[in-house]
Amino acid sequence: MKKAKSVSPYLLVLLSFVGVILLGALLLCMPFSRRANNWGSFIDALFTATSATCVTGLCTYVNGIGQELTFFGQLIVLVMIQIGGLGFITILTFFISLFIKKLQFKDRLFLSQAVNSNSVSQVGVFVRRVVAIVTVSELVGFLLGLPVFLNVPGLSIGDAIWNSVFMSISAFNNAGFDIMGGTSLIRGAGNSIIDNMPLWAYYYMQSYLMILIILGGISFITIIDVIVLRKRANQWNAFVKIVLLTTGFLLVVGFASFILTDVTKGNISVFNALFQSVTCRTAGFATFNENDLSIAGKTVSCILMFIGGSPISTAGGIKTTTVFMLVLSLIKFLQGKQIVAFNRQYSRISILKAMVLVLLSIFTIVIAFILVKSFEEYRKDPFDSTENIFFEVFSAFGTTGLSTGITPTLTIGSKIVLSIVMFFGRLGPITLFQVFQSNMDKEENTHFKYVEADLIVG
């Protein structure tokens, strides 16, 4: 730990993700990872490794990783999903806490910053609880999935077990990868496993996947308070209340919006609308062709993907707490009141961070869209699909993985841009900037104040 003290925890997080991605990309393009037993494209391997480590789910392989990669290749992807969902530093901290009982304060502070824990003294306990939650959740998900895959005609017991394991880990980590084919969970699209699955098993699978997706995206802090410690509602801290309130609100509003925009038009079913509202929270599984959505439906999907899940979870996006803070600030500003909710007043730094995060995120998406659109216009067979490119960029930034099907056809330049966007979206703009500016969370400490001025705006 002595060497780590001189390194920013945010830089360590960044480097750990880069290291996992590069190692994973190298392994994925090797012959033993590919069913064709030949060397694969490094760009496609890099894209897949980034997508897996950033728990996104976008894939450049036309037939999906199940048809493209061997068991070893699929295992590499699954390991990257697990590392990406938990975070390499979280896993490292877990093992450190097991073997080193007494850490110095500076070491505990460093680790708490790296894993986003608010408790410096209890960082080891927090990490062990997180690992326990992940292990139990994925084990339960695996057991829930077994009846589904064991009832698919022609699927061996070994393949059924492996599919159940893969889906459980992928769903809880909001990754969106599957090994059943290149059509996700879409029935009637030529996916033999999905098409041969009994109808009860198909809807049962979607039901337990939605539970895993929501659990993985509501923050480990929320799970610890509500499920592990079994605190009463009046004992929940403001963070937990905000996460649960915002998550519930977005799920209901998303569901209602898809009914209004697409179910009423016959584009999708009511159950599709419910699953879409959940999977847009950065999970990425699809039960219908996303191209079937109306423009309004795609817009709602982009908004949900942009918001994503909650902090200290496996989900991406700008996070529910950010949206809550912005909406609360807007309402209180219009009312001329202090920014107060759940008997707590929120700091100026929290509000500014929320605003900066949203602005940086929008800026990233706009720049990425311009670059991808430019790359796709100068190809030999350009396609006019502005809304689909926007959808793809939002999906990459929110680490969602939903796609209208254009991912495998993208140019090398577009794949590189989207890989960077996925990386940016998973770590978050604030984290990346804190690598270079460690004082971002601190108020400027001066012995004088400038005269306050009102700037004319609007």
Residue 5's pLDDT band, with cuts at 50, 70 and 90, is very low
Domain annotation covers residue 267: no
Give the chain's mean pLDDT.
88
Whole-number pLDDT of residue 366: 96
Q: How far apart are CA 403 and CA 405, in angstroms?
A: 5
pLDDT at 377: 85
Question: What is the number of domains present in the chain?
Answer: 1
Q: Is the Cβ–Cβ distance between 149 and 159 less than 8 Å?
A: yes
Q: Between the CA of residue 9 and those of 13, 104, 217, 401, what are the distances in Å?
A: 6, 16, 23, 28
Say if 49 falls within a structural domain: yes
Residues 380-400 have a mean pLDDT of: 86
When pLDDT is cut at 50, 70 and 90, the band that residue 106 belongs to is: low
| CA 314 – CA 399 distance, rounded (Å) | 10
34 assigned to some structural domain: yes
Give the pLDDT mean for 268-277. Answer: 96
38-47, 84-93, 251-260, 406-415: segment of lowest average pLDDT:
84-93
164 in any annotated domain? yes
Q: Is the per-residue pLDDT at 199 higher than 70?
A: yes
CA separation for the pair 349, 355 (Å, rounded): 10
**Residue 445 CB burial class (10 angstroms; 0-12, 13-18, ≥19):** exposed
Q: Taking each helix axis from N to C terminus, what angle separates 270-279 and 199-217, rounded to the nearest 10 degrees?
A: 30
pLDDT tops 80 at residue 444 = no
pTM over 0.95: no
What confidence score (pLDDT) does residue 124 get? 75
- pLDDT attached to residue 3: 46
pLDDT level of residue 72 (50, 70, 90 thresholds): very high
Q: Where are the alpha helices (DSSP H) in 285-344?
A: 295-307, 320-335
Q: Identify whether 328 is part of a domain.
A: no
pLDDT tens readout for residues 54-66? 999 999 998 899 9
CB 428 within 8 A of CB 306: no
- Give the tens place of pLDDT for each residue, 222-270: 999 898 888 888 889 899 999 999 999 999 999 999 999 999 999 999 9
Pick 1 or 155 by higher pLDDT: 155
Domain membership of residue 106 as a residue range: 3-237
Q: What is the pLDDT of residue 80?
A: 96
Crossing angle of helices 71-86 and 9-28, in 10° steps, is: 170
Tokens describing residue 347: 């700091």
Q: What is the mean pLDDT of residues 208-235?
A: 91
Give the span between the Cα atoms of 269 and 276, in whole angstroms.
10
Dihedral in degrees, nearest 10, Cα atoms 403, 370, 300, 419:
40
- Classify residue 319: in a domain, yes or no: no
| Residues ≥6 apart with Cβ < 8 Å to 339 | 328, 329, 332, 345, 346, 351
On whether residue 126 sits in a domain, the answer given is: yes
Residue 135 lies in a domain: yes
